[in-house]
Amino acid sequence: MSYSWTFGDNASSTTANPTHTYDQAGVYTARLSVSDGVNTTVSQPLTITVGSPPTATILSPQDGGTFRAGDVISFSGDGTDPDDGTLPASAFTWNIDFLHEGHVHPGTPIVGVKSGTFTIPTSGHDFSGFTRYRIALTVTDANGLTATKAVTINPEKVDLTFDTVPSGRTLYLDGIARTTPFVYDTLIGFNHTIEARNQSSGDTSYSFASWSDGGAQQHGIVAPATAQSYTATYTTSSAAPIGFVQVRSSTPQTAQSTVATAFAQAQTAGNLNAVAIGWFDSTGNITSVSDSAGNTYQVGAPTFRGNGFSQAVYYAKNIAGRRRTRSRSSSTRPFPMSTSASSSTAAWTAPARWT
């Protein structure tokens, strides 16, 4: 078995347990390779620090300090080394990182200064949840040895409560939908956009009426120093229930070329006309359905075939206008047939032709 050590300073050894002395201070990497003549295994690198490392000191800000949106934070520090004495600004590197829950938003390193400032943002990434800033100073001496010191500053936060009247509607905070009521923790002085969009649920429509702070349907707010509530009030409206307005029927007892059914009252906007047509024939088909006002009817239900008879349903929607007459031509004897109309305000008529 053979051994091969490298110590990172151009020195080496072939003994199993060597002793090595470094001539200069610095950071070195040692490795060991072991071979049986066929296979060679290389160890993980071993970092060796030789000499006395420097000391980093952060003078400001103080660890545990606080901040608000828009604050200007000053940072400063010092660095000394047993061999080099007071370290120059060129030995300094600052890292200012934004910490959010368990992850880090790293800042751009600031190199070559002993002091500086940065401004807390008033918009952009929010401060909700467990957020803070970490300011770290790393100093490096002439031998490449380093020391790092870090402090953390925390946000001054406030709870904002949001609700709607009626409650349970959706509001948008910075473009994100949230169901009311909810409480949002944020940084004092931070800018947000709140919006109360018109919405609906089932047959009920909710139209924005007002915000409790007097703002527009969508507007900006600045988080105050004390807890604040924001409530959006909506007006509600519901669609009128569907109901029959008028029903007419014709029941010819013999084969007829035309069957007419007149309605007593005129139709209004939003009417839906529906017609059920039955005839004593199990093979005939309806080719089209229309009425005296020229409305075109669509299939509401496919033709049903029975023993010697057939039946189909047609409809026309958004009817409005005068009284109408439904007429129908037939080559076979129809059985008793009913026609009906449904919707919020509905009446119907329709003639039928089939072959």
pLDDT cut 90: percent of the chain above it: 62
pLDDT exceeds 50 at position 339? no
pLDDT exceeds 50 at position 341? no
Residue keyed to tokens 């606080």: 66
31-73 pLDDT, tens digit each: 999 999 999 999 999 999 888 899 999 999 999 999 999 999 9
pLDDT exceeds 90 at position 133? yes
237-281 pLDDT, tens digit each: 987 676 777 777 777 767 665 667 777 777 776 778 888 888 787
Determine phi and psi for 70, rounding to 5 degrees. 90, -10
Q: What's the topology of domain 2-50?
A: Immunoglobulin-like (2.60.40)
| Domain boundary assignment for the chain | 2-50, 55-155, 157-238, 243-354
Q: What's the topology of domain 55-155?
A: Immunoglobulin-like (2.60.40)
Residue 338 confidence class, pLDDT cut points 50, 70, 90? very low
Nearest partner of 328 among 276, 301, 289, 294, judged by Cα: 289
Domains 2-50 and 55-155 share a fold: yes
Within 8 A by CB and 6+ apart from 88, the residues are none
pLDDT exceeds 70 at position 353? no
Of 306 and 160, the structure prediction assigns the larger pLDDT to: 160
* Mean local confidence (pLDDT), 94-111: 96
Each residue of 116-151: b (16+ CB within 10 Å) or e? eebebeeeeebbbeebbbbbbbbbbbebebbbebeb
In the predicted model, what is the mean pLDDT of the chain?
86
